[in-house]
Chain A
Amino acid sequence: MKYLRWILSGLIAILVILLVFLFVQYQSLRRAQIISDHEFLRSQILERHAPLPPSEASVVRSWMTFDYINKIFGLPSDYLKTQLTISDLRYPRLTVATYAGSVGIDQATMLNNIENAIHNYTTAT
């Protein structure tokens, strides 16, 4: 019984520490203006399904597929294929990392090329 009481006290202390961490994280999200009262949720709901602007092209990551990149930036399905001269038959169901590996280009360069292509598309249209 005594041990159970000690365990419970320890767990309550851990809980308090975790809550402090959560508060700190919430504050940092607010400082980064990712959460700002109701503005965040409202804008997210209103702009849902809308393609990302080219200024957000840096969100592209190597784990993303070309299909997904096309979808989130509202690009025509063959646009990146043409721009990056992709001949892989698996396109667009192909991740950036897999493609970079198959053509022997490092991922950072590939991501940079994709970012540029996204910027070019929006300036061209």
Chain B
Amino acid sequence: MDRRWAIRFAVLLEAPTNPEDVRDIEAVVRGFEASGYVLDQPLATTLFLLLRLGKPLLIEGHAGVGKTEVAKALASFLAVELIRLQCYEGLDVNTAVYEWNYQKQLLAIKIHEKMEEEEIFSPKFLLERPLLRAIRAESVSPVLLIDEIDRADEAFEAFLLELLSDFQITIPELGTMCARHRPHVILTSNRTRELSDALKRRCLYHWIDYPDFEKELEIVRVRARGVKPELSAQTVGFVQQIRGLDLSKPPGVAETLDCIHSLEALGKTRLDAAGAEATLGCIAKSVDDATKIRSEGIERILSRAAP
């Protein structure tokens, strides 16, 4: 935890890393490691391309494999601001791009009896929402995270398309604003619906799969410092076995970390059947899944997970 705070603090002080200075893929891997994100070579290559080519990146993958974390780590690596837009059904331009500050406008109209329309629709009454903020960044390119784009409606997706190709936003009352510093855009999707071809065409694509045993152990080592290696290895092995069980919601890395933290809180130093039963709620997120794991036999799964 201390380390992560140190990084946050360093972000405030450090001069931002210029994407041009990222010479090779190894530099990306090292930079991400310093931000607490374990990066494999393929994803590092993709991120390198994102910085080099300035194209948006679409990340897909199961829940809890760290899609959102990529954007956070990228922002901390570059030491720039992370602007996040969480998508949901019914998200519209007014919540994503800009909104006029009506209350303030009304007040102003009341106070100054005679007001020209240009004054009412001037920048001082404008509320910036994430996308506009990303476009209007003053000094460096921020990281723009558009999270769970598959939840937004098609209409919004079409709007986004325009934004991602020109990096400009038009406000009818003010005119067109162009990005002085193009944001690094990362989109994530849980594939609840197919995205339009046009959007996919504009993006680099990366699928993040569940990590293998070694990589997951490495992630746990970096993210849950000070946990006994034996406990980590056992839990990771256990979760890896459970992923093979064909559950309706297989546990992601986030669940592994939850489980390890819970075991620690319970004062366990190694994973036994009682501990696994007690923390089953961290791993199985529905009654059916929990029943399935129990009927498979926690003891059996544990013994299979043992190296």
| A, B from the same assembly | no
Chain B residues proximal to chain A, CB less than 8 Å = none
